[in-house]
Amino acid sequence: MVILAVLAAATTPPPFAAPNSLTSALGPPWKGLTGSLGSPSSLQWLKKQRQCKRKAGTSSICAKFELKPPPYPLDALEPHMSKETLEYHWGKHHRGYVDNLNKQIEGTELDELSLEDIILATHNNGDLLPPFNNAAQIWNHDFFWESMKPGGGGRPSGELLELINRDFGSFERFIDDIRLAAATQFGSGWAWLAYKANRLDVENAVNPNPTDEDKRLVVVKSPNAVNPLIWDYSPLLTIDVWEHAYYLDVQNRRADYITFFLEKLVSWEAVSSRLEIAKARAVEREEEEERRKREEEEKSSDGEVAEIYVDNKSDDSEAE
Amino acid sequence: MALRALAARKSLAGSGFQRILGARGLQTFSLPDLPYDYGALEPAISAEIMQLHHQKHHQAYITNYNKALEQLDAAIAKGDASAVVKLQSAIKFNGGGHVNHSIFWNNLSPVKEGGGEPPHSSLGWAIDQSFGSFDALITKMNAEGAGLQGSGWVWLALDKELKKVVVETTANQDPLVTKGASLVPLLGIDVWEHAYYLQYKNVRPDYLKNIWKVINWKYASQVYEKESA
Ligand SMILES: [Fe+2]
Ligand SMILES: [Fe+2]
């Protein structure tokens, strides 16, 4: 966010595919606050990082979240998405979420957290606290602007295409899936492509037996401000299906908007970069989980009777 | 189709719901006419909004509701329990959309036909009892409507059990009955973005402020008197 906040003030926006901007949009680890992997030490690190980041701006704005501009001029998505739509969608709606969140968290303990940690903390296991909607909508809109580019569309390539073929059968089937998700989000919300790693479908549950099949692409939809971070998925792509995203351009015809998003605007380069980060993150977390397990085993074998130690050593299938 | 269009031409004095025998004996629904012209609510609500809202949005709920009911009929005939369950969300959403909009059109009226005139009847008294004053009710509904996240409705309802009027909100197209079986809708205000975006853009509070100029309190009073009798 440091980098982003600084760049936000500059006239040239950050290139959407630059690893730096994407890393900061996606990281730091999302489970910091409530997840099983979040140790007190990692929480400290997150807090510190945020304060540090905020110092990157001038002193008067360092304590606030910034409205980050799209990585292209507001008229760059015409004729598909009009300048007028961007002026309202970014200039009014997105700005409103930023202004409201800054007001809501001022002087509270949330003020020191990263945007991702505010989202997780205020999601509150589905019993939403007031800042949740604003915080998640800031994150979602930043992510949405970077999901598009002028002259986008076409087909993905490389590993992204391979995984799409593997997990959906074909690119065409994936398009059908995400189109259906976007069209059938009943009310305001978002449609997503996400990378699901080592997690059950149950919210926040750690998969006891991670296999390669868990590391797969999924299409999901979410109501209002909710995003896949709260299910611990790594988002790769999103389509805003609030009516304000398309009403000035195509009125009630959400299906037309979904079509031009997928055919003319989506940035597959951005999605590919996010996939890289999501995979690296999954590996990192697996290693961390392993390390944690090992430490626990060592701890218990230190203080407990020898037969457990022997059991553990002898055979995995008998370990229970 | 011709049959449906013909049958759709009826006044809103009735229930607003059309029941037509389809090919398989299935009851389907069709779009009720508006009891005023599309431009009759200007400047509070533009003709363009009214036309799209009625012809496109409400029609889409009806089309998809009928489709879901046909699928439900087929699923029941086949004894396919999981298909029946799977259809529930589409039925609730599209059926709710039809029910809610049918009420909404009745809740609006051009100024020259009495739109915006506060209720003086027993409903006016009940509003004072529950909220202190008519203005206090408006302030409350404006605040609840503006604060509603995403899409939904803000309602003035008669609670038949408590025998008083209450304010409720529902998400998306959930009909009021999902908030309580004893609730009767007197007035529903659509706060989906499609209800105001072309005119008011992101400023939902301005839409809410202006809609009171065309609220049909006569209709709300009639429902109140009938249901509280
Ligand atoms: Fe949006
Ligand atoms: Fe509506």
Q: Is A273 part of any domain?
A: yes
Whether residue B18 is contained in a domain is answered as no
- Amino acid, res. A165: N
What pLDDT digit, counting tens, does each position of A224-247 carry? 999 999 988 999 999 999 999 999
Q: Is A71 within the bounds of a domain?
A: no
Yes or no, beta carbons of B172 and A186 under 8 Å apart: yes
Domain of B55: which CATH number?
3.55.40.20
User: Is residue A48 domain-resident?
Assistant: no
A190, A195, A200, A205: CA torsion to nearest 10 = -80
Residue A106 structure tokens: 């001022």
The residue-averaged pLDDT of A111-121 equals 94
Q: What is the H or E stretch that residue B188 is in?
A: strand B183-190
| Domain membership flag for residue B27 | no
Q: What ipTM describes this predicted complex?
A: 0.89
Q: Which domain holds residue B153?
A: 44-228
Write out the residue range of the structural domain in which residue A132 sits.
83-277
Mean of the per-residue pLDDT values of chain B: 91
**Residue B7: per-residue pLDDT:** 37
Residue type at position B180: G
Count of other CB atoms within 10 angstroms of residue A219: 19
Answer whether residue A49 is part of any domain. no
Residue A187 has its nearest CB partner, among B171, B201, B202, at B171
Q: Which residues of B touch A187 (CB under 8 A)?
A: 93, 150-152, 171-173, 192
Cβ <8 Å between A96 and B202: yes
CA distance A195 to A275: 7
Query: Higher pLDDT residue, A259 or A30?
Result: A259
- How many Cα atoms sit within 13 Å of A164 on the Cβ side? 23
Task: Kindly list the strands in the beta sheet with A216-223, ordered across the sheet, starting from the edge strand earlier in the chain.
Answer: A216-223, A189-196, A234-240
Examine residue B71 and state whether it is found in any structural domain, yes or no: yes
CA distance to partner chain A, nearest, from residue B227 (Å): 31
**What pLDDT is attached to residue B24?**
57
Average pLDDT over residues B40-46: 98
Interval between CA A79 and ligand 2 midpoint (Å) = 27
Number of domains in chain B: 1
In this structure, is residue B92 part of a structural domain? yes
Q: Note whether B160 and B227 are within 8 A (CB).
A: yes
Q: In 10 A of CB A269, how many CB atoms?
A: 16
CA distance B212 to B142: 10
Interface contact flag, B202 A88, Cβ < 8 Å? yes
* pLDDT on residue A220: 96
The count of structural domains within chain A is 1
We report the CATH number of the domain holding residue A249 as: 3.55.40.20
Report H helices in chain A.
Answer: 2-9, 19-26, 40-54, 83-88, 95-105, 115-123, 131-145, 158-168, 171-183, 247-250, 254-260, 268-303, 306-314
> Taking 80 as the threshold, does the pLDDT of residue A18 lie above it?
no
**Average pLDDT for residues A104-128, to the nearest whole number?**
93
Q: Is residue A21 part of a domain?
A: no
B54 marked ligand binding residue: no
Considering the domain boundaries, does residue B11 fall inside one? Answer: no
> Does the pLDDT value for residue A6 go beyond 50?
no
User: Is B15 within a domain?
Assistant: no
